[in-house]
Structure formats: C-alpha cells, structure tokens
Amino acid sequence: MSEEKSIFTRIIEGEIPCFKIFENEYVYSFLDINPACPGHVLVIPKEPASYLHELSPESSSELGKALPRICKSIIEITGASNYNIIQNNGSEAGQTVFHVHFHIIPKYPESTHSFTWKTVKLDKKAALELSQKISDNIE
Ligand code: 5GP
C-alpha cells in the first residue's frame, strides 16, 4: 500500500470537495467527477486499501451493507431501473485511483456505454482443477 494519501482519502478528509451521497463510520460515497451518465456514483471504504482483497472484514461487511441501499436510492431518484457495479483492481484492469472503490453506473434506455467481453467455452477438466485449487486456497 502506498504511504501517500490517495485522492479519495483526501476527499473523505474534506481536503478535496465532492458531491457527497452517503457517509458512516466505514463507508463514503459521492458522485464520480467524470460520470459515464447521470447518477454515476462511487462507493468507497474509509480504510485506505488499494485493492479489494486487502480490505478488512469490517470494511467489507459495511460496504456490502451500504451498496444495496445506495443502489436503491439511485434507481428511485434517477428512474434507471438497470445498473452495473464495476470494481477495478490494478492498472491493467482499468484502475486509476488506488483506493478501493465501487462504481455504480445506471443504464438508461438511451445509454451507449456497455460492459461486455468475448467468451470462450469452459474446458471442464481445467475448470474442475482450477475451481478446486481456488476453493482450497480461500483463507
Ligand atoms: P477507476 O478507473 O480507478 O476504476 O476509477 C476512478 C474513478 O474516480 C474515475 O471514474 C474518475 O472519474 C473518478 N475520480 C478521479 N478523481 C476524482 C475526484 O477528484 N473526484 C471525484 N468525484 N471522482 C474522481
């Protein structure tokens, strides 16, 4: 983890202004400064972890509780009944701010953004081996 404060920690601490949506002891939420569409919201832990897998159980649990509440408010207020949650980890995965964050991105009928990828057929033998290895490795 970097010693330098992330831009999101500076937002939490009030050093950088934002359009705040929600705050409690563990979680902070605000509008993305460069939204994909109206209602594009970021939800972050106050804990300054860079990646999701580094987060404490307390922050993880509080994020899990806050996300559906914030999503419900966004869809009720914007009228978008569809939305995506995007959470990038690492620069190759598109992460630009190294402080865990969830994007909540409404999808309106007229929205042009999409989150799709090419798929391949699952190899059953490789899948069995991989699923068992990942499962056995979970701490
Ligand atoms: P990432 O690409 O890391 O998943 O997303 C980082 C997001 O943070 C981007 O969508 C970007 O627009 C947003 N962002 C970066 N700096 C600021 C800022 O100072 N204020 C706000 N509100 N959003 C920011």
Average pLDDT, the chain: 96
pTM of the shown model: 0.96
User: Percentage helix, strand, coil, to 5, in the chain?
Assistant: 35, 20, 45
Among 73, 93, 87, residue whose Cα is nearest residue 43: 87
135 close to ligand 1 (CB < 6 Angstrom): no
Point out the catalytic residue in the list 40, 99, 101, 103.
101
Q: Encode pLDDT of 45-93 as tens digits.
A: 999 999 999 999 999 999 999 999 999 999 999 999 899 999 999 999 9
16 close to ligand 1 (CB < 6 Angstrom): yes
